[in-house]
C-alpha cells in the first residue's frame, strides 16, 4: 500500500487505485456498483480506502447523478413530539434505503417553510416530505414542477396530483366528542387554533357534526380558539374557561392536540379542580406524555411512526419507480380512554 499523500490534500480516487493496484474504473465500481466487483478485489480497494483515509466526494457524485442520498422532512411544529415521532418513522424507512434524512421546522410559518424548500431543492434531495402550513401554497406546486418527488404528511392532497398520508381528522373529532357525550357531558369546550391549521378545522368539524347528530344545543359546544397548539396556550384556555359563568361553564373539553390538553390539565390541577369530576379532558395525537400525565390523559391516537414510514415509502417509490401511481393513504384514528375522562356520569 502507498502512504497517505503528504502534500496536505485529501486522498483521491487515483490514490486509492494506485494503492490497491487497480484501475480507476474498478475503484468507481466499488463505490457505485460493488456487486460487479469480485470479493477479493473489493476488499483490497476497501482496505486501501481505509488506510488512506479516503472519503468519497458526495458533492461531485450529486452533480453527476443529479440527486443526493438524502430525503427531507419539513415539519409543522418542532415543539410538538407528534412530529418527532413522524420523523422517526421516516428515518427508519430512509435508513433501510441507505439514505440520510434532513429535518427542518417551519414553526407554522409559510415564509420559513418556503425558504426550507428552496434550500432543499438546491441540495438536490431525492424527495421532500412536508406537513405544510397551507397544503394549497404555491411553493408546494413548484416542487412538483421541478420534478422532485414529494408527499404531504398529516394532510390530504385535494388535487390528487401528489401522494399524501393523513389521519381522518373529522372522524377523530367525532370520536372524541361522542366519548364525552357517552360520559354524560352536555356542555363541552373545543380548545384549538389557529383556524388556519387544517387539522384544527377538521377536528372541530367532526366535533360539531356529532354534537348536532345527538341533538345537542349548538351553543353548548363552545369554541375556545388558541393562537398556537402549545402547553402555554392550553393553560391560557384554562383561565378563560374558569372565567365563564357557572351556568355556561363546560364540564368537559376536547383539545385539538395533546399539548393543549396537557396545558389545560396543568391549569385545572393548579386551580384545585378535580379531573375528571369537575372537568373531563380529551386530547389528540396520544403522544407519550399523555399516558404519563399527573392524570393520565384520554386521547385520540394517531399512528405517528406508521404515518412517517408510509410517507417515506411513497416518496421513495415515486423517486425510483417509473410506473409510480400517486396514492392518498388514510389512517383511522382510535380513542384511548384514560383517567382524565373517568367513568359514565350519572
176: domain CATH number is 3.40.50.2300
Q: Whole-angstrom distance between the N-terminal and C-terminal Cα of the chain? A: 84
Does the residue 325 lie in any domain? yes
Percent of the chain with pLDDT over 70: 93
Residue 258 sits in the same domain as residue 225: yes
Mean pLDDT across 37-49? 92
In a shared domain, residues 130 and 241 = no
Question: What would the mean pLDDT of 12-34 be, rounded to a whole number?
Answer: 89
Res 57: pLDDT = 62
**345 contacts: CB under 8 Å, gap ≥ 6:** 183, 184, 185, 251
Summary mean pLDDT of the chain:
91
* Residues 105 and 38 grouped into a single domain: no
Region 268-279 average pLDDT: 96
Q: ∠ CA(77), CA(129), CA(94), 5° rounding?
A: 110
The pLDDT of residue 66 is above 90: no
Is pLDDT above 80 for 9?
no
Give the domain CATH number at 43: 1.10.260.40
Do 119 and 198 reside in the same domain of the chain? no
296 and 309 share one domain: no
**Residue among 146, 136, 154 at smallest CA distance from 74:** 154
188-191 vs 252-255, strand pairing mode: parallel
Q: Give the CA radius of gyration of the chain.
A: 26
- Decide: pTM greater than 0.85: no
Q: Do both 207 and 272 map to the same domain?
A: yes
Domain with 149 in it: 69-167+304-331
Does residue 290 sit in the same domain as residue 310?
Answer: no
Q: How many domains does the structure of the chain reveal? A: 3
> Is residue 156 located within the same domain as residue 202?
no
Share of the chain above pLDDT 90, in %: 75
Identify whether residues 81 and 160 lie together within a single domain: yes
Of the pLDDT bands very low, low, confident and very high (cuts 50, 70, 90), residue 73 is: very high
Which band of pLDDT confidence, cut at 50, 70 and 90, is reported for residue 28?
confident
Task: Give a three-class secondary structure readout of the chain.
Answer: CCCCCCCCCCCCHHHHHHHHCCCHHHHHHHHHCHHHCCHHHHHHHHHHHHHHCCCCCHHHHHHHHCCCCEEEEEECCCCCHHHHHHHHHHHHHHHHCCCEEEEEECCCCHHHHHHHHHHHHHCCCCEEEECCCCCCCHHHHHHHHCCCCEEEECCCCCCCCCEEEEECHHHHHHHHHHHHHHCCCCCEEEECCCCCCHHHHHHHHHHHHHHHHCCCCHHHEEEECCCCCCHHHHHHHHHHHHCCCCCCCCCEEEECCHHHHHHHHHHHHHCCCCCCCCCEEEEEECCHHHHCCCCCCEEEECCHHHHHHHHHHHHHHHHHCCCCCCCEEEECCEEECCCCCCCCCC
Question: Do 175 and 199 share a domain, yes or no?
Answer: yes
Same domain? For 179 and 299 the reply is: yes
Within a domain: residue 309? Answer: yes
Asked, for residue 1, whether it belongs to a domain, the answer is no
The whole-number average pLDDT for the span 163-180 is: 97
Per-residue confidence (pLDDT) for residue 227, from 0 to 100: 95
Segment of 2-11, 144-153, 245-254 carrying the highest mean pLDDT: 245-254
Q: Answer whether residue 2 shows pLDDT above 70.
A: no
Min mean pLDDT across 234-243, 312-321, 337-346 is at 337-346
Q: Is residue 260 part of a domain?
A: yes
Amino acid at each position: 500500500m502507498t502512504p497517505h499523500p503528504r502534500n496536505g490534500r485529501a486522498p483521491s480516487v487515483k490514490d486509492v487505485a494506485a494503492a490497491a493496484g487497480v484501475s480507476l474504473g474498478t475503484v468507481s465500481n466499488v463505490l457505485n456498483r460493488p456487486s460487479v466487483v469480485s470479493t477479493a478485489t473489493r476488499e483490497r480497494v476497501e482496505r486501501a480506502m481505509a488506510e488512506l483515509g479516503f472519503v468519497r466526494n458526495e458533492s461531485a457524485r450529486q452533480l453527476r447523478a443529479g440527486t443526493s442520498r438524502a430525503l427531507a422532512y419539513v415539519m409543522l411544529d418542532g415543539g410538538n413530539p407528534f412530529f418527532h415521532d413522524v420523523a422517526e418513522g421516516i428515518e427508519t424507512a430512509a435508513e433501510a434505503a441507505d439514505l440520510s434524512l434532513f429535518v427542518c421546522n417551519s414553526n407554522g410559518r409559510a415564509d420559513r417553510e418556503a425558504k426550507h424548500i428552496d434550500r432543499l431543492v438546491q441540495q438536490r434531495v431525492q424527495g421532500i416530505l412536508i406537513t405544510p402550513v397551507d397544503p394549497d401554497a404555491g411553493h408546494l406546486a413548484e416542487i412538483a414542477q421541478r420534478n422532485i418527488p414529494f408527499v404531504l404528511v398529516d394532510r390530504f392532497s385535494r388535487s390528487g396530483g401528489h401522494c399524501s398520508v393523513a389521519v381522518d381528522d373529522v372522524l377523530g373529532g367525532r370520536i372524541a366528542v361522542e366519548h364525552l357525550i357517552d360520559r354524560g357531558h352536555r356542555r363541552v369546550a373545543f380548545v384549538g387554533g389557529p383556524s388556519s391549521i387544517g387539522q384544527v378545522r377538521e377536528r372541530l368539524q367532526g366535533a360539531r357534526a356529532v354534537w348536532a347528530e345527538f341533538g345537542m344545543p349548538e351553543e353548548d359546544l363552545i369554541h375556545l380558539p388558541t393562537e398556537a397548539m402549545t402547553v402555554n396556550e392550553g393553560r391560557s384556555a384554562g383561565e378563560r374557561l374558569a372565567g365563564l359563568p357557572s351556568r355556561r361553564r363546560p364540564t368537559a373539553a376536547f383539545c385539538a392536540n395533546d399539548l393543549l390538553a396537557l396545558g389545560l390539565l396543568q391549569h385545572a390541577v393548579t386551580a384545585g379542580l378535580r379531573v375528571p369530576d369537575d372537568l373531563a379532558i380529551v386530547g389528540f395525537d396520544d403522544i407519550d406524555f399523555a399516558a404519563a400525565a399527573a392524570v393520565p390523559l384520554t386521547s385520540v391516537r394517531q399512528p405517528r411512526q406508521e404515518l412517517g414510514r408510509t410517507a417515506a415509502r411513497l416518496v421513495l417509490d415515486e423517486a425510483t419507480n417509473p410506473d409510480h401511481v400517486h396514492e392518498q393513504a388514510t389512517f383511522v384514528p382510535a380513542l384511548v380512554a384514560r383517567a382524565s375522562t373517568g367513568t359514565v356520569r350519572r
